[in-house]
C-alpha cells in the first residue's frame, strides 16, 4: 500500500506551490476550496509581490515540520494585475531549486461564463460598466500569455462541481512521489467521454441488465446485476484479459513517472455494466496494493 501522505511530504526539501488562475467564473474558487480540503493552504487574490515573503515565512517556521503546500489564486481581481509581470515572476519562481511550482489554468466557453454571471448576478471584474460579454473577451485576451504557460488546463464548461473536485483530489493529493494514484470511472456514451480519461473501455458488448424488468431499476452496485453480467458467456474471458492487461501496464506507467491514471468504462446508460466492471477492477487493483478511487458519473448526476 502507499505511504501515509504526511510521511510523503516530510523533509522533501521543496515547497509545493500551485498557482490557480484563468477566466473569472471558470471555477477557480471551487478549485481553491477543493485543494484546501486535501491539505493545501489556500489564499485567493494574493499580489505576487507578496509571494516571496510568504514562501520564506513558510519555510522558516519549522524546518522539521511537514513541508507546506500552497494553492494561490491569481486573476484579474488581483491588485496591479499585469500578465507580463506575472510571467516574469513565474519564471523566477520556477527557477528556484527549493520550489515545485505548477500553474493550473481554468477556462469555460464564453456562453457558459456569461450564463454563470447572469445566474449569480455577479459583476464581471472587467465589465463593471459594460456588458458581461465585453469583460469576458477583454479578460481572455489579457490572460492569453498566462494560459500558454499553464502546466494543467481545466475546461469546466461541462464539469459539475463534484467532478471537478474529484479530478483535483486525484491529481494533487499530497501522496508519496513514486505512488500511482488511480481513478476508475463509469459513464454512459450518450453524455460523452470523460474529459480526463487516459484509458477508455467500451463494455456495451456485455448483456444489458436494462432489458430485464427486475434489474432495470437497480445499478451495477447491486449483487443481482453483478450476477447477471457475470453470467454472460463472454464475461469471464473478457475479465481475465482486461485484468491482466491493466495489471501489466501499471508498473510501466510508474516507471515513466506517471503519478495519476484514469481508467474509464462506458456503456449505454452508465448505470449497469460500466458501474459493475469499474467496481470489480477497483477491487482487483486494491488487492494488488494500489490506491484507487471510484467515480460513477451517471449515478452521481442522477442523484
Known binding residues for ATP are 22-29
CA distances from 123 to 61, 134, 190, 297 (A): 39, 12, 35, 32
Residue ranges of the annotated binding site are 22-29, 75-78
**Residues within the annotated binding site for GTP?**
75-78
Three cell numbers, residue 212? 430485464
Residues 296/270, Cβ–Cβ less than 8 Å? yes
SS3 118: helix
Gap between the Cα atoms of 234 and 265, Å rounded: 17
**CA–CA separation, 127 and 200 (whole Å):** 41
Answer for the pair 290, 243: CB distance below 8 angstroms, yes or no.
no
Q: How would you classify the pairing of strands 15-22 and 69-73?
A: parallel
Amino acid at each position: 500500500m502507499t505511504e501515509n501522505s504526511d510521511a510523503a511530504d516530510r523533509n522533501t526539501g521543496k515547497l509545493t506551490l500551485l498557482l490557480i488562475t484563468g477566466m473569472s467564473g471558470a471555477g477557480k474558487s471551487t478549485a481553491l476550496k477543493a485543494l484546501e480540503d486535501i491539505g493545501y493552504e489556500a489564499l485567493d487574490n494574493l499580489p505576487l509581490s507578496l509571494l516571496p515573503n510568504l514562501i520564506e515565512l513558510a519555510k522558516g517556521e519549522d524546518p522539521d515540520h511537514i513541508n507546506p503546500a500552497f494553492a494561490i489564486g491569481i486573476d484579474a481581481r488581483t491588485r496591479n494585475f499585469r500578465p507580463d509581470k506575472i510571467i516574469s515572476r513565474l519564471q523566477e519562481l520556477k527557477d528556484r531549486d527549493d520550489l515545485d511550482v505548477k500553474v493550473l489554468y481554468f477556462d469555460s466557453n464564453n456562453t457558459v461564463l456569461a450564463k454563470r454571471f447572469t445566474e449569480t448576478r455577479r459583476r464581471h471584474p472587467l465589465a463593471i460598466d459594460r456588458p458581461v460579454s465585453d469583460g469576458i473577451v477583454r479578460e481572455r485576451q489579457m490572460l492569453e500569455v498566462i494560459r500558454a504557460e499553464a502546466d494543467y488546463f481545466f475546461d469546466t464548461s461541462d464539469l459539475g462541481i463534484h467532478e471537478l473536485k474529484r479530478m483535483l483530489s486525484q491529481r494533487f493529493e499530497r501522496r508519496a512521489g513514486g505512488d500511482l494514484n488511480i481513478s476508475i470511472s463509469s459513464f454512459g456514451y450518450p453524455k460523452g467521454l470523460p474529459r480526463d480519461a487516459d484509458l477508455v473501455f467500451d463494455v456495451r458488448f456485455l448483456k444489458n441488465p436494462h432489458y430485464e424488468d427486475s434489474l432495470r431499476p437497480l445499478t451495477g452496485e447491486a449483487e443481482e446485476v453483478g450476477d447477471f453480467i457475470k453470467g454472460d458467456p463472454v464475461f469471464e474471458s473478457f475479465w481475465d484479459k482486461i485484468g491482466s492487461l491493466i495489471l501489466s501496464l501499471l508498473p510501466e506507467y510508474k516507471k515513466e513517472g506517471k503519478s495519476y491514471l484514469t481508467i474509464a468504462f462506458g456503456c449505454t446508460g452508465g448505470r449497469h455494466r460500466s458501474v459493475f466492471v469499474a467496481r470489480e477492477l477497483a477491487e482487483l487493483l486494491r488487492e494488488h496494493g494500489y490506491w484507487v478511487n471510484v467515480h460513477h458519473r451517471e449515478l452521481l448526476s442522477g442523484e
